[in-house]
Amino acid sequence: MAENRGKPHAIMISVPYQGHINPFVNLALKIASKGFSVTFVHFEFVHHRLSKAHHCNKTQVDIFSEARESGLDIRYTTISDGFPLEFNRDANYDEFWGKVLREFPARVDEFVRKTIESDPYLLHFLVADTVFSWPATVAEKYNLVNVSLWTEPALVFSLAYHLDLLRENGHFPCKDNIHEEVNYVPGVKSMSTRDLISVMRESEQRNSYTMLESLFLAFEQVRKADFLLHNTVHELEAETLSILNKYQPNYAIGPINFFKNLPTYTVSKSLWSESDCTEWLESKPPGSVLYVSFGSFVHTSRQEIEEIAYGLLLSEVHFIWVVREGILSSGDTNTMPDGYEDEVKDKGLIIPWSNQIRVLSNPAIGGFLTHNGWNSTIESLWCGVPMICYPFLFDQPTNRKLVVDDWKCGINLCDGTSVDRKEVAEKIKSFMSGAASKRFRQEANKVKTILHHALEVDGSSEKNFDQFIKDLTEKIH
What residue ranges in 186-283 does DSSP mark as E strands?
A: 191-192, 227-230, 250-252
Cβ closest to ligand UDP, residue 193 vs residue 355: 355
**Nearest approach, Cβ of residue 18 and ligand UDP (Å):** 4
The piece of 14-22, 181-189, 407-415, 419-427 that touches ligand UDP (CB under 6 A) is 14-22
Query: Of these, 19, 255, 367, 386, which contacts ligand UDP (CB under 6 A)?
Result: 19
For the stretch 258-262, contacts whose Cβ atoms lie closer than 8 Å and that sit 24 or more positions apart, written own/partner, are 258/382, 258/451, 258/455, 259/26, 259/27, 259/29, 259/30, 259/455, 260/455, 261/33, 262/26, 262/29, 262/30, 262/33, 262/67
Torsion of CA 359, 364, 366, 371, to 10 degrees: -20
What residue ranges in 161-261 does DSSP mark as E strands?
A: 181-182, 191-192, 227-230, 250-252
Query: Of these, 144, 322, 444, 472, which contacts ligand UDP (CB under 6 A)?
Result: 322
Instruction: Give CA–CA dist 446/350, Å, rounded.
Output: 31
Contacts of 466 (CB under 8 A, 6+ apart): none
Instruction: Report which secondary-structure segment, H or E, holds 145.
Output: strand 145-150
Cβ closest to ligand UDP, residue 174 vs residue 350: 350
**Nearest approach, Cβ of residue 347 and ligand UDP (Å):** 19
- Interacting residues with ligand UDP between 343 and 382 (CB under 6 A): 353-357, 373-376, 379
- Site mask, ligand UDP, residues 272-311, x = CB under 6 A? ---------------------x-xxxx-------------
18 binds ligand UDP (CB under 6 A): yes
Task: Name the nearest CA neighbour of 330 among 292, 289, 311, 302.
Answer: 302
Cβ closest to ligand UDP, residue 111 vs residue 259: 259
- Interacting residues with ligand UDP between 233 and 262 (CB under 6 A): 257
Task: Name the nearest CA neighbour of 104 among 116, 114, 92, 96.
Answer: 96
Cβ closest to ligand UDP, residue 108 vs residue 271: 271
**Nearest approach, Cβ of residue 290 and ligand UDP (Å):** 14
Cis preceding linkage at 173, omega within 30: yes
Cβ closest to ligand UDP, residue 66 vs residue 276: 276
* Whether the Cβ atoms of residue 196 and residue 398 lie closer than 8 Å to each other: yes
Task: Name the nearest CA neighbour of 15 among 133, 122, 95.
Answer: 133
Cβ closest to ligand UDP, residue 145 vs residue 378: 378
129 binds ligand UDP (CB under 6 A): no
Cβ closest to ligand UDP, residue 307 vs residue 379: 379
Task: Name the nearest CA neighbour of 234 among 69, 16, 467, 409.
Answer: 467
**Nearest approach, Cβ of residue 56 and ligand UDP (Å):** 10
**Nearest approach, Cβ of residue 321 and ligand UDP (Å):** 10
335 binds ligand UDP (CB under 6 A): no
For ligand UDP, how many residues bind (rule: CB under 6 A)?
Answer: 22
Q: Is 56 exposed, middle or buried (0-12, 13-18, 19+ CB in 10 A)?
A: middle
The piece of 12-20, 108-116, 209-217, 458-466 that touches ligand UDP (CB under 6 A) is 12-20
**Nearest approach, Cβ of residue 260 and ligand UDP (Å):** 17
**Nearest approach, Cβ of residue 175 and ligand UDP (Å):** 25
Q: Which residue is nearest to ligand UDP (CB)?
A: 373
* Whether the Cβ atoms of residue 30 and residue 261 lie closer than 8 Å to each other: no
Q: What is the DSSP letter of 343?
A: H
74, β-bridge pairs = 38
22 binds ligand UDP (CB under 6 A): yes
The piece of 16-24, 69-77, 210-218, 456-464 that touches ligand UDP (CB under 6 A) is 16-24
Cβ closest to ligand UDP, residue 40 vs residue 297: 297
Could you tell me how far CA 175 lies from the centroid of its own chain? 27
Contacts of 427 (CB under 8 A, 6+ apart): 388, 411, 413
Cβ closest to ligand UDP, residue 144 vs residue 267: 267
**Nearest approach, Cβ of residue 434 and ligand UDP (Å):** 28
**How many Cβ atoms sit within 10 Å of the Cβ of residue 423?**
15
* Whether the Cβ atoms of residue 357 and residue 379 lie closer than 8 Å to each other: yes
Cβ closest to ligand UDP, residue 37 vs residue 356: 356
Cβ closest to ligand UDP, residue 240 vs residue 293: 293
> How many Å from the N-terminal Cα to the C-terminal Cα in the chain?
8
Cβ closest to ligand UDP, residue 17 vs residue 150: 17
Instruction: Report which secondary-structure segment, H or E, holds 40.
Output: strand 37-43
- Site mask, ligand UDP, residues 133-172, x = CB under 6 A? ----------------------------------------
Residues near ligand UDP, by CB under 6 A = 17-19, 22, 257, 270, 293, 295-298, 322, 353-357, 373-376, 379
